[in-house]
Amino acid sequence: MTAPTGIRTRIREWRRSQSPSEARRKSLQIAKQCIGSGWFDAKVRIAAYLAHDGEVETTALFEYLRELGRTGFVPILRKEPRRMLWFGPYAGTASMRPNRYGIPEPPVDQGTITDARELDLVFMPLVAFDPRGNRLGMGGGYYDRTFAFRLDEPASAKPRLIGLAFEGQKVERLEAQPWDVPLDAVVTEAGIYRFPAPSA
């Protein structure tokens, strides 16, 4: 089995090799799949990332939320505990500043900070995924630490975790670690992969 670092390197290179127009076209197809899924129908609190390093673009999802008169949330790096996330309202990039990875995030304001448990659905970035719902991220562990409570709670516990990826990011098998938080679904330009709850 290929080591995670090898998979991460290979797929990141593949992802960057796509032309901007091809990545944009696929990202719009993915956004249409998400919008048509019914996930936006209820007035749920939805978070998504801002694309970086060739990830699936999420601009269309935030635009759709705005059309619905609703606010989307984006990740904010926490100082304490380290390598975990808060979420803050997204109102465009004008009022945002880049974090240590160069990704824009809203200013930390205790009045608007949202804890992960307060969200209903989170669209997550990933480097690779497999047919069992395992996710390989960038290696920092931010999302796994932030949503670790999902490992100890029923599979129906919120928020639902939905990965966004290009079809070329699917691999045959990823070796899951005890701390890996599985996904509920992954959306690619080819369709929606829904994963059954892991057996106890």
Q: Is 6 marked within a binding site?
A: no
Helices 59-67 & 20-35 angle (0-180, nearest 10) = 40
CA 89/CA 95 separation, integer angstroms: 11
Q: Are 81 and 141 in contact (CB under 8 A)?
A: no
Instruction: Using alpha carbons, select from 97, 44, 83, 40 the residue that is nearest to residue 63.
Output: 40
Q: Is 83 marked within a binding site?
A: no
Q: Is 92 marked within a binding site?
A: no
Q: Is 88 marked within a binding site?
A: no
Q: Is 69 marked within a binding site?
A: no
CA 30/CA 191 separation, integer angstroms: 8
Instruction: Using alpha carbons, select from 66, 62, 61, 105 the residue that is nearest to residue 87.
Output: 105
Looking up tokens 């409570």, which residue turns up?
149
Q: Is 63 marked within a binding site?
A: no
Q: Is 136 marked within a binding site?
A: yes
Q: Is 139 marked within a binding site?
A: yes
Q: Is 135 marked within a binding site?
A: yes
Q: Is 124 marked within a binding site?
A: no
Q: Is 138 marked within a binding site?
A: yes
Q: Please report, in range form, the residues annotated as the binding site for substrate.
A: 50, 55
Q: Please report, in range form, the residues annotated as the binding site.
A: 50, 55, 135-143
Q: Please report, in range form, the residues annotated as the binding site for ATP.
A: 135-143
